[in-house]
Amino acid sequence: MTARVLVVDDDPSMCALLESELRSRGFQVATHLGADEAFERMGREDFDAVVTDLRMRGMNGLGLCARIVENRPDIPVIVMTAFGSLEMAVDTIRAGASDFLTKPFDIEELVIALERALGQRNLRREVKRLQGMVAETQREGELLGASAPMRKVYDRISRLAEAEASAVLITGESGTGKELVARALHRRSRRSAGPFVAINCAAMPEALLESELFGHAKGAFTDAKSAKKGLFLEANGGTVFLDEVGELPLTVQPKLLRVLETRSVRAVGGSVEVPFDVNLVTATNRDLETAVAERRFREDLFYRINVVHLDLPPLRARGSDTLLLAQHFLERFAARAGKPVLQLSSAVAEKLLAYAWPGNVRELQNCMEHAVALARFDEITVEDLPERIRSYRSANVLVVGDDPSELVSMEVVERRYILRVLEAVGGNRSMAARVLGYDRKTLYRRLESYGVPTDKPGKE
């Protein structure tokens, strides 16, 4: 929706000028020549921002700002004056103003200040909304999220649980929650009363891995002083989860394939085949199809474990789930540290949304634990964040090659980058506009020129 701005100045010509200029840029504008009347009107009508002169007859701009902050702290106030000084600017910001402009100023300075203030306001509202959503939002066990990509994951889990697929392969970047999804599949299956047994295939040497998977007979090797059940028999009636399955040694892969095909296992050094009944869930952050093509992973085993494929979205594609998860982790670590419940400042929310999260949810969890440990106030500030997130810049441009024929125009670069940002935030237009530094109308015009279907602004 178009932002409603209240302009307060005892100079009628300045009111008329600002009204005309702001209206031409898409704002709805109301004006008042006095602060008292303007504040009374705010009690009757809703405004998204206030622009006020500092020196006026009656209540001045500083007094108006203080009253707005006390009664309507959600409405940003921009103060302007022809008598600017550093001391005055400090007093204005202390009074709660979101910005301070010295006359004469270019109208674009005011537009930028308004868009920045409105963006911060929207982020504060989003953070507050997410605080209430943490306990209520759709979740699957420890999985938490309300974005469209996560709703697809929940739907997939439900359908797989009903279908009782014999083998599910979960893929996704490191830190996206693959084991949490595996546990959710087990919890929703008819084998939920049985054990859930997990093993990380990359964490053990080859000889020990084979013994852990299949078990061993007494005396099968030097240290085998007693017989040991393997993972498949331990999980009988439940679920086996093989994490990092792409790291399985080639020598172990044919043995695993035979076990899965016969649904029976013979211990290392043993002579008896023992049947078992389990659901198999595997996970990897590797491209197994490429590994198959390069003969690093058996093709027959790949098709055996990939009966159903479930791909998890990276955190950067989950939109405001980043803030939802951040608040969830804040509450957890604050309780653990014996601190009052903390909240995210709008500046922190902006940093979290702009960051690419190469470590995904695991990295976000680490970040929030770091922030809680350093927090000195009841609100997380940018200074509480790890340095890599504080200093992160989202735009990295790489020019490859020296051949002029391979270079493209800035128009093409801009188009590619806008579409890449839109993809990274899961198609959320409002969030993409914040990352790009555009107002939503500008972003919509760009997308329409690229032939990308858009709803009208305000429908997200």
Instruction: Walk along the chain (460 residues) in steps of 10 and give the mean pLDDT of each run.
Output: 85 91 90 89 89 86 88 88 73 81 86 86 70 51 80 88 84 92 90 93 87 78 73 93 94 94 86 89 93 93 94 89 89 88 82 89 95 89 92 58 57 79 72 74 80 53
Cα 264 to Cα 274: distance, rounded to the nearest angstrom: 5
DSSP string, 150-191: HHHHHHHHHHHHHHT-SEEEEE--TTS-HHHHHHHHHHHSTT
Domain boundaries along the sequence of the chain: 4-132, 148-311, 316-390, 395-460
Is the fold of 4-132 the same as that of 148-311?
Answer: yes
Contacts of 223 (CB under 8 A, 6+ apart): none
The CATH topology of domain 148-311 is Rossmann fold (3.40.50)
- Determine the pLDDT at residue 141: 55
CA distances from 9 to 49, 59, 79, 143, 251 (A): 14, 11, 10, 52, 80
- Determine the pLDDT at residue 127: 65
CATH number of 316-390: 1.10.8.60
At 350 the three-state DSSP class reads: helix
- Determine the pLDDT at residue 404: 54
Cα 53 to Cα 13: distance, rounded to the nearest angstrom: 13
Question: Would you say how long the chain is, in residues?
Answer: 460
- Is this model's pTM higher than 0.85 or not? no
- Determine the pLDDT at residue 80: 87
Closest CA relative to residue 47, chosen from 81, 71, 14, 16:
71
Which own/partner pairs from 34-42 qualify as long-range (CB within 8 Å, at least 24 positions apart)?
Answer: 34/8, 34/10, 34/58, 34/59, 35/8, 35/59, 35/60, 35/61, 35/63, 35/64, 38/6, 38/8, 38/64, 39/64, 39/67, 39/68, 41/6, 42/6, 42/68, 42/72, 42/75
Cα Rg of the chain, angstroms = 29
- Determine the pLDDT at residue 315: 92
- Determine the pLDDT at residue 398: 47
- Determine the pLDDT at residue 436: 78
Cα 239 to Cα 218: distance, rounded to the nearest angstrom: 26
Please, what is the angle between helix 360-374 and helix 321-337, to 10°?
A: 40
Stated as kind and residue range, the H or E segment containing 280 is strand 279-284
Instruction: Return the CATH class of domain 395-460.
Output: mainly alpha
- Determine the pLDDT at residue 3: 87
Structure tokens at 96: 């709660």
- Determine the pLDDT at residue 90: 76
H-only helix segments in 202-277: 206-214, 231-234, 253-262
- For residues 34 and 28, the answer to whether their CB atoms sit within 8 Å is no
Stated as kind and residue range, the H or E segment containing 294 is none
- Which residues in 26-155 belong to E strands, given as ranges? 28-32, 49-53, 77-81, 99-102, 139-140, 143-144
Cα 421 to Cα 452: distance, rounded to the nearest angstrom: 14
Cα 446 to Cα 440: distance, rounded to the nearest angstrom: 10
Closest CA relative to residue 49, chosen from 102, 117, 134:
117
- For residues 130 and 320, the answer to whether their CB atoms sit within 8 Å is yes
- For residues 145 and 324, the answer to whether their CB atoms sit within 8 Å is yes
Closest CA relative to residue 440, chosen from 425, 460, 420, 410:
460
- The residue whose two tokens read 């206030």 is 50
Closest CA relative to residue 92, chosen from 123, 69, 74, 115:
69
CA distances from 54 to 61, 89, 457 (A): 4, 11, 33
The CATH topology of domain 4-132 is Rossmann fold (3.40.50)
Cα 249 to Cα 299: distance, rounded to the nearest angstrom: 14
At 250 the three-state DSSP class reads: coil
